[in-house]
A and B are shown apart, each in its own frame.
Chain A
Amino acid sequence: MSTLAVHDHEVAHHDEHGHEHHHDQSFLSKYVFSMDHKMIAKQFLITGITMAVIAMILSILFRIQLAYPEKTFPLLTTLLGRFAPNGRISPDFYLALVTIHGTIMVFFVLTAGLSGTFANLLIPLQVGARDMASPFMNMLSYWLFFLASVIMLSSFFVQKGPASGGWTIYPPLSALPKAMPGSGEGMTLWLISMVLFVASSLMGGINYVSTVLNMRTKGMDLWKMPLTIWALFLTAILGILAFPVLVAGVVLLIFDRSVGTSFYLSDIVLNGVQQPFEGGSPILFQHLFWFLGHPEVYIVIMPAMGISSEVMSVNSRKPIFGYHAMVYSLIGITVLSFIVWGHHMFVTGMNPFLGGVFMITTLIIAVPSAVKTFNWLATLWRGNIRFTPAMLFAIGMVSFFISGGLTGIFLGNATLDINLHDTYFVVAHFHLVMGSAAIFGMLAGVYHWFPKMFGRMMDEKLGYLHFWLTFICAYLVFFPMHFMGLDGVPRRYYAFTEFASMQKWLTINTFVTWAAIIAALSQFGFLYNFFVSMFKGEKATQNPWESNTLEWTTPVEHLHGNWPGEIPTVYRWPYDYSKPGAEQDYIPQTVPYSQTMSSNLPHDFEDNPAGLEALNTYTSTLKANEQVK
C-alpha cells in the first residue's frame, strides 16, 4: 500500500512541477541542498574524489619518509610546520598520516564515496523510480557525511595533531591521551567524525534498501535487477547491520576517555604511573571493531564487484555468466562476512579454539569469492570485447581481486597468520584486494556512468593512459610488499633503520615510493579529464554504450523525476547481449518479448507458461512456413 502511495505522490509531484516550474529552482536548492538523487550522487562523488586526493597526498608524504628515512626535506617543514621539524616527518606525525590515510580511504572514499555515489545514482535509475524513498533523508545523509569529512580533516589543525593509533584505533593506545599525542583532541575529533559518518551511512543505507524493496517499476522483479543493484542493496544491508556495532564500540571508547569508565581498560601503568582502571578488556574493543570491520571490507568491495560485473557484461557484449550464482555468492558473502571477524584477532590472545573456528568460517568465505572470479572469466570467454576505459578498470579490478584474494587464504589460516599478522604481507593483501580493486571498481563506474551524470563523455585516450599508469604502478607498489612481509617486516614502522635485518629493504622501499609517486601523478590526468570533460567533453548520446539497463532510457538532460512521461515497464533481465536471432547485439530491458520473437528462448519463459506457449506457436508456424516453401 505505502509503496503505491509513495509512487503516486512522486508522479503527481512531477506532473505539477515538472514542466512549468522547472527553472525556478534556486542555486541553493539545486546544487547545495538538493534532494535530487542524481545531484546528491554527484555531491558524494566530488567529495569522495576530494577526500581521495587528500588521502593520496598523505600517503605520498609517508612514503617519502620510508624511502628516505635519513634525508631532510626543508620543504616538509615549510608545509607541515611543527609536524615535520628539521625537514623530517616526526614519528608521531608519521603514525597520524598512516591513520588518517587509512580512515579516509576506507570510510570516506570507498564507503561513502563509492556506495554514496553509485547507490544514489543507480538505484532509482536502474530500478525505475523517480527518486529515493526519502529524498530529504538522502540529503541529510550527504550533509552528515560532509560534516564528518570536515571534522576529520580539522584534526590536522589541533595542537597535537590528528588521531594516530592506526585506522583500527585499538585502545588502550587510543583511550589514554597521554599514550601518544594523537590520542588527545585528535582522537576526540576522530570519534565524533565517525559517529556522524555512521549516522550518514545509516540514513543512506535505509534509503537504498527501502527504495530497492518498494519502488521498483512494473515488471522489475528481484531477479531482473542488474547486479549493480543487487550489490548495492546487499551492501546497504551489511552497513545497516554492522555500523551500529561500531557506534557502540566508539561510544564506550568515548566513555573510557572522558567519563573514566573501564570498558576497555585494566591493569594499566603508563609511564610508571598506575591508572585507575580495572576490569575492562582491550580485546572487547577489537571484537566490536572487527564485527563492523570485516563486513566493512565487503561493504567496500561489493559495489565494486557489482559495477565491474555490469561494465564487463556490457563491454564484452555478453550476458554476465551465471547471474544467479553471482547473486547467490553476493548473498553468501553478505551472510558469512558477519561470522569471520575473528580472523583479525588470531594472535591477540583470544582463545585459540575460537581462533580455529574463525579460521574455518574465513576459508568458507573464499568459496563465493572464487565463484565470482571464475564467472567473470567466463563472461569474457568468447565475448566481443570493447575496451572502453571503464572496461579496462573493471578488468583491473578482477586482476587485483585475484592477486589480493589469494593471499587472504594465507592470512585466513591461523597457523600461517602467526608470522604474517601485522606485517607488510597484510598491507599487500588488503591494498590489492580492497584498496586497488575497489578503487578500480569505482573508477570503472565513474568512466561508465559519467555520460549519465554529466551528459558528456570523458576523453577515452586520457582514460587509457590513466588506466595503464595506475594499473602498472599499483602492482609495482604492492607486489614487492608481500616479500617484505615474508621477511618479518612490520607495518606502521616509522623507519627500518633500527634493525640490521630490515635495512636491506631500503632499495625496495625507494622503488615503491617512486612507483607510488608516478601513480599519484597520473591521477592528475584523471582529475583533468573529469573536470574538463564535465564542461567541454563531447556531448553524450542517450545510450552511449548500447546498454540494456533502464538508466539509459532517461533523457540526457537531467530532469527531476528522471523520466518525462511514465516510468518504463521492464520485461526482461538486463543481460540480453548478443542474443542469437536478435537484430542488434543488445535488447534493452524495456523491450517486450512480443517484439523479439526471433530471439526468444524457451529459457526466457521458465515461469511464464503463456509466453512459452506463444513461443511454441511461433516456432511451429515458422517451421510450417519453411515446409510450405
Chain B
Amino acid sequence: MLLGTNLLMAQTDAGSAATGQAEAPKVDWTGVAYYVLIFFLICLGVAVVGKILKVYDLTLKMQGKKGLNWNTVMATFCIIFLLIGLYGAYWSFTEQGSMTLPEAASAHGVKIDEMFTVTTILTMIVFFITQILLFTFLFRYRYSAKRRAHFLPHNNTIEKVWTIIPAVVLTILVVFGFFTWQKIMNSENLKDDINIDVTGHQFAWELRYPGKDGVLGPKDFRLVTGTNNLGVNFKKKSSFDDLKVDTMYLPVNKSIRLNILAQDVIHSVYMPYFRVQLNAVPGLPTFFKFVPTITTAQMRAKLDDPKFEYTLYCNKICGGSHYNMQKVVRVVSEAEYQTWLSKQKPYLNDALRKELHFASANEQSNGSTNRLALNN
C-alpha cells in the first residue's frame, strides 16, 4: 500500500518532467551501445598504446640501448602530479572556495569563523609541506643502481620533535575549541530570550512562538490530534496565547532560543548562515541559543542577491523527502518584527477551540479522548 502510493507519487513527479507520458519510456539502445562501443574503443586504444610502448622498448633494447626507464618515468609523473596538484588545489581554493558561506550572521558564528580560519591556516601549512615533501622525495630519491639508500632506522630527537610539536599545536586548538564550545552550548537563559518552538516531522518543520507572556506552553505527544498537531497542553495558561507561524522571523541582535524537538524520527535543525545546528530527537527536547546579527536585507545587499533568503533545513537523514524539508528564516529589525508578530494567528484556532471546548466542558471525557488517541 505504502509502496503503491509512493510509486504513484513518483510517477506523477517524473511523469510531468518526461512530457507526461503514462507508460515507462523506452530505452534508446543505440545510445547505450554507443557508450559501450566508446568504452571498448578506449580499451583498445590503451592496449595499442601498451603494445607500441612494448615494441619501442624492445627495439631500444635490441639496439643495445637501455630501454625505457619506467622507474624514472614514474618519478617524473610524481613531480608533475605535485605541480599540477598544487595548482589544482590553489584553483579549487579560489574558485570553489569563493562559493562557500559568507561571514557568519550570528554573534557566536563570528567566533566559530575565527577558529575556522586559524585551523585552516595551521592545517594548510602542514598539508602543503607534507605533500610537497612526499612527492619531491619520490622524485629526488628515485632508484639508481649506483647508489644505496641511507640506512636510518630511527632518530629519537627528531621523533620527539615531531611528536611534541603536533601535540602542542593540537592542545592550543583544543583549549580554545573547548572554551568556545562550552560558551556556545551552555549559554545562560536570559529573561528576554525569544523562545521559539521548532518541531520536526516527516517532512516539515512546525514553528510556534510564545504570545505576550513570552512563555511557550508545554507539549505532550499523547495530546496530538489532527487539529492540535504539536500536542500542546491547553490545561496550562501559558499555552493560550501561543502563535502558530509559517516563516521564522527573528529580530536582529536579540537572543533567540530555539527549542527543538522531533515527533517521528531524528531530524536536524540546520541554519548554516548562522552556524547553528542541533539534532531534533524524538523524546529528547534540546535547545540552541544564538543572536542573529545581519538582517536579511543586509545580507541581500552583501551578496548582491535580491532574492536571497536564510533557510532552516533538515540535516539528518529522515526519509524519502529529507532533501526538501525547509523553512524560510527572515532576520528583520525590531519594528518589523513587532508588526509581523502582531499579525500572526494564535495556535489555539477556532477548530481547536471547538475541539477543546467540547473537551473542557466535560473534564471526564477529556481523559478518554486522550486514551482513544493513544489507542489509535
Contact = CB atoms under 8 A, between A and B. Distances in A.
B323 A495 contact: yes
A181 interface: yes
Nearest to B42: A521
Given A75-B27, A319-B153, A488-B272, A359 B283 contact: no
Interface string A84-97: 01111011100100
B339 interface: no
B277 A347 contact: yes
Contacts of B237: none
A31 interface: no
From A86, A176, A471, A585, name the one whose CB has the most chain B CB atoms within 10 angstroms. Answer: A86
A545 interface: no
A570 B137 CA distance: 32
B292 to A, nearest CB: 15
A166 B317 CA distance: 7
Interface residues of B, number: 134
Contacts of B127: 402-403, 406
B301 interface: no
Interface string B308-330: 11010111111111111010000
Contacts, number: 407
B346 interface: no
Nearest to A349: B286
Interface in A340-394: 347-349, 352-353, 355-356, 359-360, 363-364, 366-367, 370-371, 373-375, 377-378, 380-387, 392
Given A85-B24, A269-B264, A415 B130 contact: no
Interface stretch (A9-17, A236-244, A276-284, A302-310): A276-284
B56 interface: no
Interface residues of A: mostly helix, strand, loop or mixed? Answer: helix
A418 B284 contact: no
Contact of A319 (B74, B152, B163, B286): B152
A444 interface: no
Contacts of B141: 316, 380-385
A352 B182 contact: yes
Contact of B173 (A77, A352, A409, A500): A409
Contact of A353 (B111, B166, B182): B182
A417 B118 CA distance: 15
A335 to B, nearest CB: 16
B100 A86 contact: no
B188 to A, nearest CB: 13
Contact of B229 (A178, A272, A483, A525): A272
Interface in A452-511: 460-462, 464-465, 468, 471-472, 475, 479-480, 483-484, 486-488, 490, 492-496, 498-501, 504-505, 508
A558 interface: no
B283 A367 contact: no
B138 A486 contact: no
A214 interface: no
A159 interface: yes
A137 interface: no
A273 B344 CA distance: 28
A490 B314 CA distance: 8
A88 B202 CA distance: 22
Nearest to A357: B178
A78 interface: yes
A77 B25 contact: yes
B142 A356 contact: no
B81 A75 contact: no
Interface in A384-432: 384-387, 392, 395, 398-399, 402-403, 406-407, 409-410, 413-416, 418-419, 421-423
B268 A371 contact: no
B293 interface: no
A561 interface: no
Interface in B7-28: 7, 10-11, 14-15, 17-18, 21, 24-28
B6 interface: yes
A162 interface: no
Given A269-B201, A483-B96, A578-B148, A377 B130 contact: yes
Interface residues of A, number: 137
Contacts of A403: 127, 131
B163 A371 contact: yes
Interface stretch (B190-198, B218-226, B246-254, B361-369): B218-226
Contacts of B44: none
A387 B148 CA distance: 16
Given A402-B131, A413-B115, A483 B74 contact: no
B322 A493 contact: yes
Contact of A86 (B25, B28, B101, B151): B25
Interface string A596-612: 00000001000000000
A268 B263 contact: yes
Contacts of A578: 148-151
Contacts of B10: 85-86, 88, 90-91
A321 interface: yes
B266 A282 contact: yes
A450 interface: no
B203 to A, nearest CB: 10
Given A398-B134, A409-B173, A378 B282 contact: no
B216 to A, nearest CB: 17
Contact of B27 (A78, A319, A364, A501): A78
A523 interface: no
A593 interface: no
B70 A461 contact: yes
Contacts of A475: 85, 88
Contacts of A370: 162-163, 166
Contact of B264 (A176, A317, A402, A418): A176
A134 interface: no
B174 A181 contact: no
A75 B32 contact: yes
Contact of A91 (B28, B226, B278, B321): B321
A422 B154 contact: no
A268 B53 contact: no
A544 B263 CA distance: 62
A74 B24 contact: yes
B166 A385 contact: no
A384 B315 contact: no
B19 to A, nearest CB: 10
Interface stretch (A43-51, A54-62, A193-201, A322-330): A322-330
A579 interface: yes
Given A461-B50, A475-B85, A70 B266 contact: no
Contacts of B317: 95, 165-166, 170, 173, 492
Nearest to A494: B323
B148 A317 contact: yes
Contacts of A378: 152, 155, 158
Contacts of B50: 461-462
Given A170-B266, A415-B180, A419-B112, A363 B153 contact: no
A179 interface: yes
A415 B115 CA distance: 8
B134 A271 contact: no
B119 interface: yes
Given A74-B24, A414-B177, A269 B231 contact: yes
B340 interface: no
A339 interface: no
B101 A486 contact: yes
Contacts of A281: 283-284
9 nearest A-B residue pairs (beta carbon): A488-B272, A266-B283, A352-B185, A86-B14, A387-B74, A382-B150, A483-B96, A349-B286, A486-B100
Given A387-B75, A403-B127, A414-B177, 16 more contacts: A159-B3, A170-B317, A173-B317, A282-B281, A319-B151, A322-B153, A347-B277, A381-B141, A384-B143, A387-B70, A409-B123, A422-B268, A423-B272, A486-B97, A500-B309, A578-B151
9 contacts: A85-B24, A170-B316, A266-B282, A282-B266, A322-B155, A323-B153, A385-B75, A409-B123, A479-B92
